[in-house]
Amino acid sequence: MKKNAPAGDLFSAPAAHDERERGVPPVQGIRVGIGGWTYAPWRDNFYPAGLVQRRELEYASRQLSSIEINGTFYSAQKPATYAKWAAETPESFVFSLKAPGRITQSGALARSGKAAQAFIDGGLAEFGTRLGPILWQLAPSRVFDADDVAAFLDALPRALEGRPLKHVLEVRHDSFRDPAYVRLARERGIVTVFTDSGEYPSLADLTGDFVYARLMRSRADVATGYSDDELDQWTQRAQQWAQGGDPAELPHAGTAGEAAKLRREVYLYFISAAKARNPAAAMALLQRLGAR
């Protein structure tokens, strides 16, 4: 596609109809995306010139295979809003959602089970098959307390209207670099976010049946956010994860390779850092996977 061509040429022309409906399906079980879809600089380097803002999700969901919704971290939305978002995306597309920070950012996790249930019951069923992982992000100040974390994870509902739920926990305090945490999460089948960041702990330990990676090192001076070599490396890691592998070069709190070797879905998001470059990074990785 031509960069910044008129929106009609890119997105509204009849010739593009089939592509718009298909979207970008996962490749080898790997989905790649970004955080959110409303960001003014993307109107200069991602969205077609002239595309109206109300169609940005419609467009983005046909260039990527997933988007992490960050707005729900600040406030849950109405069921009608979730239904609208789902209706604007192709059947192959999947959202992940950050759960509201009020549930996980302060107070005892052990007392947050009802609030977590209320968030899930508050309309997430409207996503239908487009509902992917639910991300529970802990505050950087929250120290690992095995009993507190275990009580919270045990309280998370495992299904919604007959569909299994995918829960993923993002830890942000160094005390979670502990084999005891890895065992606790693995016993409950709760996935741990791999956060590629110099600011937060990076745990590549496989603790569930899928992989969730948030890559936070894009750079403004690189058109694709990451160099070709870095994108090649992340492509290889995503494929390794999908095939049941466990990249030993990534940091682990436990021992690399000790998790069950099974094929896993992979959700990989380019988040934060040089945010303007993240869509280009995601599309470059999708191209390497053969999805574009």
* pLDDT tens figures, 53-79: 999 999 999 999 999 999 999 999 999
Q: 21: pLDDT confidence band, cut at 50, 70 and 90?
A: low
- Evaluate whether residue 155 is within a structural domain: yes
- Tell me the residue ranges of DSSP E strands in the chain: 30-35, 66-69, 94-98, 131-137, 159-160, 163-164, 167-170, 191-192, 194-196, 210-215, 265-270
Mean of pLDDT over the chain: 93
Determine the angle formed by the axes of helices 228-242 and 278-289, rounding to 10 degrees.
60
* pLDDT tens figures, 216-239: 999 999 999 999 999 999 999 999
- Evaluate whether residue 22 is within a structural domain: no
Contact (CB, 8 A) for 103 and 72: no
- Evaluate whether residue 17 is within a structural domain: no
> Model-level pTM?
0.93
The mean pLDDT of 274-292, rounded to a whole number, is 95
Whole-number pLDDT of residue 182: 98
Interatomic CA distance for residues 88 and 155, integer angstroms: 32
Location of structure tokens 């890559």: 215
The mean pLDDT of 20-39, rounded to a whole number, is 91
**Over pLDDT 90: what percentage of the chain?**
90
Contact (CB, 8 A) for 280 and 225: yes
The mean pLDDT of 85-91, rounded to a whole number, is 98
The CATH number given to whatever domain includes residue 194 is 3.20.20.410
- Evaluate whether residue 234 is within a structural domain: yes
* pLDDT tens figures, 121-171: 999 999 999 999 999 999 999 999 999 999 999 999 999 999 999 999 999
**Ordered DSSP codes for 11-49:** IISGGGHHHHHH----BTTEEEEEE-S--TTHHHHTSPB
Contact (CB, 8 A) for 6 and 50: yes
Give yes or no for residue 22 having a pLDDT over 70: yes
Whole-number pLDDT of residue 106: 84
- Evaluate whether residue 88 is within a structural domain: yes
Q: 11: pLDDT confidence band, cut at 50, 70 and 90?
A: low
Interatomic CA distance for residues 283 and 187, integer angstroms: 35
Interatomic CA distance for residues 213 and 281, integer angstroms: 14
Whole-number pLDDT of residue 292: 74
Cβ-in-10-Å burial (0-12, 13-18, 19+) of 14 comes to exposed
Q: 6: pLDDT confidence band, cut at 50, 70 and 90?
A: very low
What domain count does the chain have?
Answer: 1
- Evaluate whether residue 10 is within a structural domain: no
* pLDDT tens figures, 202-219: 999 999 999 999 999 999
User: Could you tell me the residue range of the domain that residue 72 belongs to?
Assistant: 27-289
- The count of C-alpha atoms lying within 13 angstroms of the C-alpha of 71, restricted to the half-sphere facing its C-beta, is 12
